[in-house]
Amino acid sequence: MAYRGGELDARIMHGWVTPLHVAQRLRPVRAGELGRKASSPELLEQTHVQVNGLWIPKENVRDAALVSAGAQAHPRGLAYELDALTRARLCHLRYPHRVMSGWTAAAEWGMDCFVDDADTTVLSGGARAVAASAAGVTRRRRTRALARIPTYRIDPEFPDLQVTAPVLTLIHCLQSLWSGEHSWAVPTGTGLTDTGTQAVQLVDAMCRTFGIDPAELPEACAHHLDRSRMELVTGWCDRGGESPMETLMRLMVRKIMTGTGRVFRSQMVVHADGTVSDPVHGGTAGNSRIVARLDLGCEELKLALQYDGSGHLHRSVRDRDSRINAELANLDWHVVRVTKGHLDDAAAFRTVLRDAVGLCERRLAAREDG
C-alpha cells in the first residue's frame, strides 16, 4: 500500500509560511563569509564558536541548564549544546545529499518543542544507525518506498536542504518515541503512561505547527503506523493545545473531572457581552469584543484555567493578565492561573481544581436560587 499522507501534505503546503523563529535563526558560516571579523580571531570568538571548521553564532548555543536537563531525560544521556535547526544546517553542509527526517525535519518545519534534545536524524543510504554521541547522527535507511515520497526544500537559508514530508515527519517522530530513541520528562497524573502522554503532546504540537486536525492523522499515517493505536492517541489530542504544558493541564483536568459531567474545552473565547464562542472547534464566532481566550474553560461553571509559563513573568504580560482577570471577574468568571509547579504535583493540582469547581458550583447554585 502506498503512502497515504500526500493529500494532507499538499494541503499543509498550500498555506505554508516559514515560521518567524526559523527565518530569524542565524546560519552557520565559513570564515570567509564573515568579512573583517575573519581576520581577527579575538573579535570572531566574541560572537561565534567553531564547530567542524564552521562558525556558529553564540546565540545558537543553548543554555547550559536546558542542555543538562535534556541530557538527563535522553535515553542515551546525550547532551546537545546546539539547537536542532543549527545541527540540521551543519549536517547539510557536510552531507548535502542526506534528507533531514524525524525530529530534525520537525525543527525545520518549525516545531519549537522536544526537538532540541533529540538526535540529529536523517534518511540516507547504508544501514540504520543510532547516534552514539552528540556529534553523531541517527540514520534511517532511505528505502525505495521512502525514496518515492516527495521531499521538501523549506529552509530559507539553505534552499537545497531536503526534509521529509510533513506527515512522514510525524510518523518518524512517533516511531522514534515508541522505540525509545527519544524521550522527555513528564509528570504523573494524566491517566496515561509516560509514552502515551508524550505521544499526545507530540501530536498536539505537530497539529499546531501544521494547522491540521488530529482526527485526520489515523488515515494519513495508516500505512506506517497501526491505525487503532493512532486512533487511541488522537482521541486524547486537541487542536486547541497551544503548548506542551497546556496539553498536560488538559489531560490532568480530564482525568480529575472524569465522571463529574463537567466539560472543559480548550481555547474558548469569552466576549465583552458575556457570550462564549468556540471557533477552534468549529463553533460560531462571537460578535462583540474578545475579553479572553481561555486555555481551558467550563462554560457552565464559568471557571477558567490559564497556564502561565515563564513568559508571563514579564511586566507587560503580567499587566495584560491582570486586566484580563479583572474583566473576566466582572463577567462572573472565576480564573485559576496554573504554573508548572501545579502540574508537577498531581495531588496538589487535584485539590486546587476540585476546590475551584466546588466554589463555582456554589456560585452557580446561588444564581439559580436567585
For the chain, list the domains and their CATH numbers.
6-184 (no CATH), 244-369 (3.40.960)
Instruction: Give Cβ neighbours of residue 188 (< 8 Å, ≥ 6 apart).
Output: 346
Position 288 scores a pLDDT of 83
Position 36 scores a pLDDT of 61
Position 33 scores a pLDDT of 74
Between CA 344 and CA 331 the distance in angstroms is 31
Residue 312: pLDDT over 60: no
Residue 286: pLDDT over 60: yes
For 136-192, what is each residue's pLDDT tens digit? 999 999 999 999 999 999 999 999 999 999 999 999 999 999 999 999 999 999 999
Sign of CA dihedral 139, 142, 146, 147: positive
Between CA 23 and CA 58 the distance in angstroms is 17
Ranges 29-43, 147-161, 273-287: which has the least confidence: 29-43
3-state secondary structure of 49: strand
Between CA 222 and CA 171 the distance in angstroms is 10
Residue 319: pLDDT over 80: no
Q: What share of the chain is helix, strand, coil (3-state, %, to 5)?
A: 50, 15, 40
Average pLDDT of the chain to the nearest whole number: 91
**Residue 44's pLDDT band (cuts 50, 70, 90):** confident
Position 105 scores a pLDDT of 98
Position 29 scores a pLDDT of 84
> Could you give the percent of the chain with pLDDT greater than 90?
78
Please tell me the pTM assigned to this model. 0.92
Quick count: other Cβ atoms within 10 Å of Cβ 221?
24
Region 232-261: mean pLDDT is 94
166-179 and 194-210 helices, crossing angle to 10°: 170
Residues paired with residue 191 on neighbouring β-strands, in sequence order: none
Region 342-355: mean pLDDT is 95
Between CA 54 and CA 33 the distance in angstroms is 10
Q: Which residue has the cell 503532546?
A: 201
Amino acid letter for position 39 = S
Instruction: Give Cβ neighbours of residue 146 (< 8 Å, ≥ 6 apart).
Output: 123, 140, 168
Between CA 195 and CA 91 the distance in angstroms is 29
Between CA 193 and CA 233 the distance in angstroms is 12
Return left, alpha or beta for 29; rule: phi > 0 is left, psi -120 to 50 is alpha, else beta: beta
Among the listed residues 329, 337, 268, the one whose alpha carbon sits nearest the alpha carbon of residue 298: 268
